[in-house]
Amino acid sequence: MKTYNTDDTHIITMNKDKQNLALETKDIHVWYGDNEAIKGVSLEFEKNKITSLIGPSGCGKSTYLRSLNRMNDQIDGTKVTGKIIYKNIDINSSKVDVYEMRKHIGMVFQRPNPFSKSIYENITFALKRHGQKDKQTLDEAVETSLKQAALWDQVKDDLHKSALALSGGQQQRLCIARAIAMKPDILLLDEPASALDPISTSKVEETLINLKEDYTIVIVTHNMQQASRISDYTAFFYMGKVLEYDQTKKIFTRPKIQATEDYVSGHFG
Ligand SMILES: Nc1ncnc2c1ncn2[C@@H]1O[C@H](COP(=O)(O)OP(=O)(O)OP(=O)(O)O)[C@@H](O)[C@H]1O
Ligand SMILES: [Mg+2]
């Protein structure tokens, strides 16, 4: 297989007031034991935009995404260096309360993973754990987050039925509702539609586009059409580095790096 020079990169910075940034990483490296899976990634994520992370299997997309809310901490033998700046705080610092931080930076995984509880309890679980007891507040959180996740109309009469009785696409939108019930600023999603059929996929995509008004979204996807349909910015990962980061339309029409062009046109990966 052709290999590419990983020193040849094109990475935009927002060149604006940093006020427009929801999150910024500076020189992130991630090791699993001796394997350096992420080799110095610095990216800026603009507020109220969708950013896609794309690239061939094994290039480090999930590893990088998990570093953004410290999910790699849970994997033995991992080491993460570099800064992750959120509201002027380096959340990669050992002083940060990770549990508290994840209220602001939520995550949705590849396979829908609702708890085997009712729809209502799925959404209120974390709120209750954080001390919320008021029934009216909980009811409102359920309604608002299900509406935002475009699921309310389908489930409003079944809130006390098991979440496991929902279709895969509905379960994934429930997981999005569960994540946004905590009112995070940033939503991280790792291939949230890869296990879904095309209709459910387009519903999840619509949901994400609507959520952009209130949230900053970072999404890993293998689906090039999906990245070009929904995202404002795209980062192309290759062998643990970002080779190109730009507006999505540039990445898909006029990429500056040969590897990006070959990848988005389906020549490898
Ligand atoms: N939990 C883990 N323990 C050890 N090594 C891991 C772990 N997760 C990922 N890796 C390694 O880190 C590298 C990057 O993997 P990662 O899962 O981040 O890639 P990816 O781009 O998300 O791939 P895919 O598109 O297949 O999901 C790979 O070499 C992988 O083997
Ligand atoms: Mg992955």
Distance CA 242, CA 4 (A): 12
Residue 52 lies in a domain: yes
Average the pLDDT over 251-255 and give the result.
97
Inside any domain, residue 132: no
Q: What does the pLDDT read at residue 233? A: 98
Residue whose CA is at the smallest distance from ligand 1 atom 16: 60
d(C-alpha 88, C-alpha 150), whole Å: 33
Ligand 1 site, residue 61, Cβ cutoff 6 A: yes
Number of the ligand closest to the Cα of 222: 1
In a domain, 115, yes or no: no
Q: Is residue 129 part of a domain?
A: no
pLDDT at 91: 97
pLDDT of residue 18: 81
Is 75 near ligand 1, meaning CB less than 6 Å away?
yes
Q: Is the pLDDT of residue 15 over 80?
A: no
**156 domain residue, yes or no:** no
Q: Which of 53, 54, 62, 71 for mutating ligand 1's site (highest number of atoms within 8 Å of CB)?
A: 62
Is 49 domain-assigned? yes
The domain that holds 207 is classified in CATH as: 3.40.50.300
User: Can you give the residue range of the structural domain that contains 66?
Assistant: 10-109+186-264
Instruction: Tell which atom from ligand 1 comes closest to the C-alpha of 63.
Output: 18
Q: What is the pLDDT of residues 36-78, one digit of tens each?
A: 999 999 999 999 999 999 999 999 999 999 999 999 998 899 9
Q: Phi, psi at residue 43, to the nearest 5°?
A: -140, 150
Residue among 157, 217, 162 nearest 192 (CA): 217
Q: Does 73 reside within a domain? A: yes
Average pLDDT, stretch 12-37? 92
Chain segment 164-222, per-residue pLDDT in tens: 999 999 999 999 999 999 999 999 999 999 888 888 899 889 999 999 999 999 999 99
Asked if pLDDT for residue 17 goes beyond 80, the answer is no
First-to-last C-alpha distance (Å) of the chain: 10
- How far is the C-alpha of 206 from the C-alpha of 227, rounded, in Å? 13
User: What's residue 84's pLDDT?
Assistant: 98
Number of domains in the chain: 1
Helix (H, G, I), strand (E, B) or coil at 235: strand
What is d(CA 23, CA 86) in angstroms, rounded to the nearest whole number?
A: 5
Q: Whose CA is nearest to atom 2 of ligand 1?
A: 32
pLDDT (mean) for 133-137: 96
* pLDDT bucket at 140, cuts 50 / 70 / 90: very high
Q: With respect to residue 79, please indicate whether it lies within any of the assigned structural domains.
A: yes
- Give all strands (DSSP E) within the chain, no chain letters: 10-11, 21-32, 35-46, 50-54, 78-86, 89-90, 105-108, 186-190, 216-220, 233-238, 241-247
What is the overall mean pLDDT for the chain?
94
Note the pLDDT of residue 80. Answer: 97
Pocket test for ligand 1, best of 30, 36, 38, 61 (most atoms within 8 A of CB): 61
Q: Please name the residue whose Cα sits nearest to atom 5 of ligand 1.
A: 32
